[in-house]
Amino acid sequence: MDEVKEFINFWDVERHNLPFEIDGIVLKVNSLKQQRQLGYTAKSPRWAMAYKFKAEKVETELQSVSYQVGRTGAITPVANLKPVLLAGTIVKRASLHNEDIIKKLDLHEHDFVYVEKGGEIIPKIVGVNTEKRTEESKEIEYIKHCPECGTELVKVEDQAIHFCPNDLHCPPQVVGRMIHYVSRKALNIDNLGSETIEQLYREKLVENPADFYVLTKEQLLPLERMAEKSAQNIISGIEKSKEIAFEKVLYGIGIKHVGETVAKKLVKNFATIEELKNATVEELCQVEDIGTKIAVSIVDFFANPENILMIERLKSYGVQLIKGESTNEVLSNVLEGKTFLFTGKLSLFTREAAEEMVEKHGGKNISAVSKNLNFLVVGEKAGSKLKKAQDIGTIEILDEQQFLDLVEKQ
Ligand SMILES: [Zn+2]
C-alpha cells in the first residue's frame, strides 16, 4: 500500500505535465490468481478500483454575472471571473446553472469565490469566502427580462430554469427553430449548417422555415466562405426537402412537445395539416399516448396567426403537409375483416411495424381485448390481456411466428 500511496502522490503533481487531463488513477491487482479469488460484482471487477484526485480549488473574484439564452429559450447564468490559473488552464468563466444555485451560494456582487475543476470541462463555483465580502456588496439579483429580446422571463413550476417565452421572435430561439427544421430527423437539409443559418438570419434573409424556400443562389453567394458549389448544394437540398414525408415536416416545424413519435401518431390520425389544425384538445387526447399537455400545445400553435401564415407558405411552396400514399400502401387483403392486438414484449418485430403490417394486409388494429377481437398476438411476458382473451374464449391466440405465417399465407 505504501507503494500505491507513493504512486498516487507522484502523479497528483506530475499529471499537470501530461499533454492531456486526467482526474484519477485505476489501481489493479496484478496477480491473476488473486484476481480470480476476488471475482466480480454485477458491474465491475473487484480487483480494479478507481482513485480520484482531489479537485483543485482556487479563490478568485466574481466580476459580473451574465445570462445566456439557449435555442430552446432556457436561460443559463454565467459567472465572469477575474482570470485565474486552475489545473493548468486560465479560468475566466464558470456556469451557475440556475437561480437556485445562486441563492444557495448566497452570491453577492464582487464576492471572492472558490472555483473547482472536477471531471467536467466547465469549472464550477463551490463556495464563497464571506470574510472578504464588503458591507455594501449587494446580493446578485436574477434578471427578470430576456437579455436578447427584453421579454419577461417565466419559470415553469417544479423547474429551476427560467425561460424566455418569446419563442417566435427571440433571436437565439428563432435560429434554433430553423436549425431544428433542417436537422436530419426533420427535413434533412444537410448542406444547410447552423453557421449558415445564423448568417442568413443576421442578413435578414430568413426568419422562419418558410423563408428557406424563396432563397436564391444570388442571395447566398455574398455570404462568408460561400462558394458557388455550396450555394448550389443548399438550393438543391432545400428543393429536395419538398419530398420529405408529412410526419417529418410536422416534427420539423417545432410544435412544443411534439417529438418524432408523437408526430408519427398524429399523422396516423390526422391525414392533413388542416385536420390537425381543426382538432380540439378533446379530439387530440383520443390519440394514443397524447395527453393534455401535448394537445394544448398543438392547439396553441395553430391559434397563432404567424404559425398559420408559415404553414400556408410551406404549403404553397410544395412541402408535404398531407399524409403520403406510401404509408397507406396495401400489399394484400389476406387479413381483411380481421382485428388484431399485440401484447407482451415482441422480439421478431416492433409493435409499430406489426401494426403497420396488419394495415397493409387489410386488417385492423384495435386497442383492447373484447369480443370484437379476432387475434391476440403474444410476445414474451404477456399479462392481463392474454388472461382476458383466454377467458372470452373466442379469440385466437398467436405467437409472433404464427402471425407472420398468417400474413404470408397469401
Ligand atoms: Zn428572449
Ordered by where they begin, the domains of the chain are 2-52 (3.30.1490.70), 57-166 (2.40.50.140), 171-243 (1.10.150.20), 246-316 (1.10.150.20), 339-407 (3.40.50.10190)
* Per-residue pLDDT reduced to its tens digit, 260-290: 889 999 999 999 999 999 999 999 999 988 9
Give the mean pLDDT of 89-93: 91
CA 311 to ligand 1 centroid distance, Å? 23
Give the pLDDT score at 86.
87
Give the pLDDT score at 288.
83
Distances (CA, A) of 347 to 233, 354, 403: 41, 11, 13
CA 111 to ligand 1 centroid distance, Å? 28
CA 278 to ligand 1 centroid distance, Å? 30
CA 188 to ligand 1 centroid distance, Å? 27
Give the pLDDT score at 368.
86
Average pLDDT, the chain: 91
Inter-axis angle of helices 171-182 and 194-202, to 10 degrees? 140
CA 315 to ligand 1 centroid distance, Å? 29
Q: What is the rounded CA–CA span in Å between residue 6 and residue 8?
A: 5
Give the mean pLDDT of 396-402: 93
Distance separating the N- and C-terminal Cα atoms of the chain:
73
Least confident of 21-25, 60-64, 182-186: 21-25
Q: What is the rounded CA–CA span in Å between residue 365 and residue 376?
A: 10
Residue 37 binned pLDDT confidence (cut-offs 50, 70, 90) = very high
364's grid cell: 385492423
CA 146 to ligand 1 centroid distance, Å? 5
Residue 10 binned pLDDT confidence (cut-offs 50, 70, 90) = very high
* Per-residue pLDDT reduced to its tens digit, 178-229: 999 999 999 999 889 999 999 999 999 999 999 999 999 999 999 988 999 9
CA 167 to ligand 1 centroid distance, Å? 7
Cβ atoms of 146 and 69 within 8 Å: the answer is yes
CB count within 10 Å of CB 290 equals: 20
pLDDT at 370 over 80: yes
Residue 410 binned pLDDT confidence (cut-offs 50, 70, 90) = low
| Backbone torsions φ then ψ of 149, nearest 5 degrees | -135, -5
Give the pLDDT score at 280.
96
pLDDT at 328 over 70: no
pLDDT at 355 over 80: yes
- Share of residues in the chain with pLDDT > 90 (%): 72
pLDDT at 44 over 90: no
CA 172 to ligand 1 centroid distance, Å? 8
Bigger pLDDT: 83 or 135? 83
CA 199 to ligand 1 centroid distance, Å? 19
The most confident of the ranges 198-202, 257-261, 404-408 is 198-202
CA 43 to ligand 1 centroid distance, Å? 45
Give the pLDDT score at 162.
95
CA 142 to ligand 1 centroid distance, Å? 15
* Per-residue pLDDT reduced to its tens digit, 107-121: 999 999 999 986 666
248's grid cell: 417529418
Give the mean pLDDT of 65-81: 94
Distances (CA, A) of 340 to 121, 148, 328, 333, 376: 52, 53, 17, 14, 6
CA 69 to ligand 1 centroid distance, Å? 7
Give the mean pLDDT of 300-304: 96
CA 260 to ligand 1 centroid distance, Å? 26
Give the mean pLDDT of 71-81: 94
Cβ atoms of 215 and 205 within 8 Å: the answer is yes
CA 166 to ligand 1 centroid distance, Å? 6
CA 121 to ligand 1 centroid distance, Å? 27
**Beta partners for residue 78, in sequence order:** 66, 95
CA 116 to ligand 1 centroid distance, Å? 31
pLDDT at 348 over 70: yes
Q: In what order do the strands lie in the sheet with 364-365?
A: 364-365, 339-343, 375-378, 396-399
55's grid cell: 479537485
Give the pLDDT score at 95.
87
Give the pLDDT score at 198.
95
Give the mean pLDDT of 131-136: 90
